[in-house]
């Protein structure tokens, strides 16, 4: 795909307008210190400037007045909003001022000019919460807004039967996907019973989108614990959830050329997004309780979750959900980096000669306490003979 094909139609808070030129202004806050008798002043770099997006555009068409009023309302709404920037995608910005121009010679159009400043990537710029509480709260808030988003879109009442049938087909697909992922949970008779109850109650849940959200969420987070403040999750649990991050991106979306088909497609997309959102939020939440074996493992998981959030941010059109996912990302980064601070780094090590795991542990760490870690980390079959010149992965010993 070429760069021209990647350009996105401009909008603010979902209200579209047209632009021909969209610059970005940024830089560094530099203070110049000048002193008597010195020809070379000292430049002090204080910080990065917030990026500014000056926009000069227009609205054209029979309904340009109506569209301009919607855009004015969007500008005057409190708080930051989502700017879809032609070059940089979705950006959370604040708009300090705007100008809408109408001219007698312009015909069916008006000009649009406004200045916007990139908002902070967290709703809590300076958070006094500890990293644990902040991430728990961020995940709960993101879940609540994701649920609200789903219930606002998912509707079967008042539509022909094929809309319900289509939703049931998508739900059945989701159930099969979850079963392929939740390997450990499926060993529980209780978990299997949850699936049985869900399948038998699908028709009722279609009429209760909120209940549908709760039931699907329980299937995803089952075996972590009921209390969100005391989850009991393992690294394997997290990797199971990670497998759901991109599920549905390759689905064939229902062709929508009638009102009922449009709603069927909307329901399908809403169910896909619910599955992905719940998986990402759940992975972010359980990351706070994990015991990481190394700094490298913690950072790998941080990147896996934040990359998934970044991908979601590119597709979210609702301001509330966008902001909550930004806060979720910031909380994940803060929490995992806090936990990873004192963890050992992994590095490669080549033994000087063939030796046993006990000798190798003593050589690396001065004791034999890390023998089992060396064996497990490198899947060593015979601990008595670890070949010289074999590249091993070990915790930093410096």
List pLDDT tens digits, range 144-190.
999 999 999 999 999 999 999 999 999 999 988 988 888 777 888 88
Q: Rounded CA gap, 312 and 306, in Å? A: 10
CB 371, CB 392: distance < 8 Å? no
Contacts of 220 (CB under 8 A, 6+ apart): 178, 182, 241, 244, 275, 278, 279, 282
pLDDT above 80 (res 28): no
pLDDT above 80 (res 217): yes
Say what percent of the chain tops pLDDT 70. Answer: 86
Tens digit of pLDDT for each residue in 254-272? 887 899 999 999 999 999 9
Tens digit of pLDDT for each residue in 77-121? 888 888 887 777 778 888 888 888 887 676 788 888 888 887 754
Looking at residue 9, its pLDDT comes to: 80
Tens digit of pLDDT for each residue in 301-334? 999 999 999 889 888 878 889 889 988 998 898 8
Tens digit of pLDDT for each residue in 58-78? 888 888 888 889 999 988 888
The sign one gets for the Cα dihedral 224, 228, 232, 233 is: positive
Domain boundaries, the chain: 3-118, 131-340, 346-395
Q: Rounded CA gap, 113 and 58, in Å? A: 8
Looking at residue 42, its pLDDT comes to: 66
Higher pLDDT, 290 or 8: 290
Looking at residue 297, its pLDDT comes to: 85
Contacts of 211 (CB under 8 A, 6+ apart): 204, 205
Tens digit of pLDDT for each residue in 345-368? 767 777 777 878 787 777 776 777
Question: If we measure between CA atoms, which residue out of 280, 269, 354 comes closest to residue 312?
Answer: 280
Q: Rounded CA gap, 199 and 194, in Å? A: 9
Confidence band for 273, pLDDT divided at 50, 70 and 90: very high
Looking at residue 253, its pLDDT comes to: 86
Question: In this structure, which CATH number among 2.40.30.200, 3.90.470.10, 3.30.750.24, 3.40.50.300 belongs to the domain 3-118?
Answer: 2.40.30.200
Looking at residue 149, its pLDDT comes to: 93
CA distances in angstroms from 174 to 24, 146, 268, 324, 333, listed in the order given: 42, 17, 11, 25, 29
Looking at residue 128, its pLDDT comes to: 58
Summary mean pLDDT of the chain: 81
Q: How many Å separate Cα 144 from the centre of its chain?
A: 15
pLDDT above 80 (res 233): no
Which helix (H) or strand (E) covers residue 95, if one does? strand 89-101
């709760």: which residue's tokens? Answer: 214
The two structure tokens encoding residue 6: 């990647």
pLDDT above 70 (res 39): no
Q: How confident is the model over 381-390, as a mean pLDDT?
A: 76
Most confident of 26-30, 256-260, 359-363, 369-373: 256-260
Q: How confident is the model over 289-307, as a mean pLDDT?
A: 86
Looking at residue 129, its pLDDT comes to: 65
Looking at residue 44, its pLDDT comes to: 66
Residues recorded for the chain: 398
Q: First CA to last CA across the chain, in angstroms?
A: 47
Looking at residue 227, its pLDDT comes to: 52
pLDDT above 90 (res 286): no
Looking at residue 338, its pLDDT comes to: 80
Looking at residue 92, its pLDDT comes to: 82
Looking at residue 126, its pLDDT comes to: 45
The two structure tokens encoding residue 61: 């068409």
pTM for the predicted model, two decimal places: 0.70
Looking at residue 392, its pLDDT comes to: 74
Confidence band for 36, pLDDT divided at 50, 70 and 90: confident
Q: What strands lie across the sheet with 52-60, from one edge to the other?
A: 15-16, 11-12, 81-85, 89-101, 109-118, 52-60, 18-21
Looking at residue 46, its pLDDT comes to: 65
Q: Residue 132: how many CB atoms within 10 A of its CB? A: 15
CATH assignment, 346-395: 3.10.350
The sign one gets for the Cα dihedral 336, 339, 342, 345 is: negative
CB 394, CB 374: distance < 8 Å? yes
Looking at residue 90, its pLDDT comes to: 79
Looking at residue 83, its pLDDT comes to: 84
Confidence band for 390, pLDDT divided at 50, 70 and 90: confident
């Amino acid at each position: 795909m070429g760069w021209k094909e990647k350009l996105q139609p401009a909008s603010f808070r979902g209200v579209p307008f047209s632009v021909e030129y969209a610059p970005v202004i940024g830089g560094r806050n530099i203070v110049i210190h000048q002193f008597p008798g010195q020809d070379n002043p000292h430049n002090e770099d204080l910080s990065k400037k917030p990026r500014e997006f000056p926009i000069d555009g227009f609205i054209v068409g029979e309904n340009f007045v109506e569209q301009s009023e919607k855009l004015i309302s969007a500008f005057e709404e409190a708080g930051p909003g989502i700017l879809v920037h032609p070059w940089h995608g979705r950006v959370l910005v604040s708009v300090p001022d705007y100008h809408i121009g109408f001219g007698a010679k312009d015909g069916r159009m008006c000009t649009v000019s406004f200045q916007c400043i990139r908002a902070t990537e967290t709703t809590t710029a300076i958070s006094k919460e500890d990293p644990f509480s902040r991430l728990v709260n961020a995940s709960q808030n993101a879940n609540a807004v994701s649920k609200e988003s789903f219930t606002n879109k998912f509707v079967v009442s008042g539509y022909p039967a094929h809309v319900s049938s289509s939703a049931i087909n998508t739900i059945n697909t989701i159930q099969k996907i979850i079963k392929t992922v939740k390997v450990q949970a499926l060993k529980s008779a209780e978990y299997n019973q949850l699936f049985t109850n869900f399948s038998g109650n699908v028709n009722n849940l279609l009429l209760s989108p909120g209940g549908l959200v709760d039931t699907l969420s329980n299937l995803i987070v089952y075996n972590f614990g009921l209390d969100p403040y005391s989850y009991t999750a393992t690294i394997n649990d997290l990797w199971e959830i990670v497998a759901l991050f991109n599920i549905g991106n390759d689905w064939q979306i229902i062709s929508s050329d009638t009102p009922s088909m449009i709603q069927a497609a909307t329901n399908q997309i809403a169910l896909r997004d619910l599955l992905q959102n719940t998986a990402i939020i759940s992975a972010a939440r359980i990351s706070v309780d994990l015991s990481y074996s190394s700094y490298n493992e913690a950072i790998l998981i941080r990147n896996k979750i934040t990359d998934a959030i970044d991908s979601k941010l590119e597709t979210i059109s609702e301001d509330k959900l966008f902001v909550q996912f930004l806060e979720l990302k910031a909380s994940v980064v803060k929490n995992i980096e806090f936990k990873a601070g004192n963890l050992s780094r992994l590095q490669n090590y080549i033994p000087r000669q063939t030796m046993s795991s006990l000798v190798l542990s003593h050589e690396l760490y001065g004791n034999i306490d890390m023998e089992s870690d060396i064996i497990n980390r490198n899947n060593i079959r015979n601990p008595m003979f670890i070949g010289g010149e074999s590249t091993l992965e070990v915790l930093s010993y410096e």
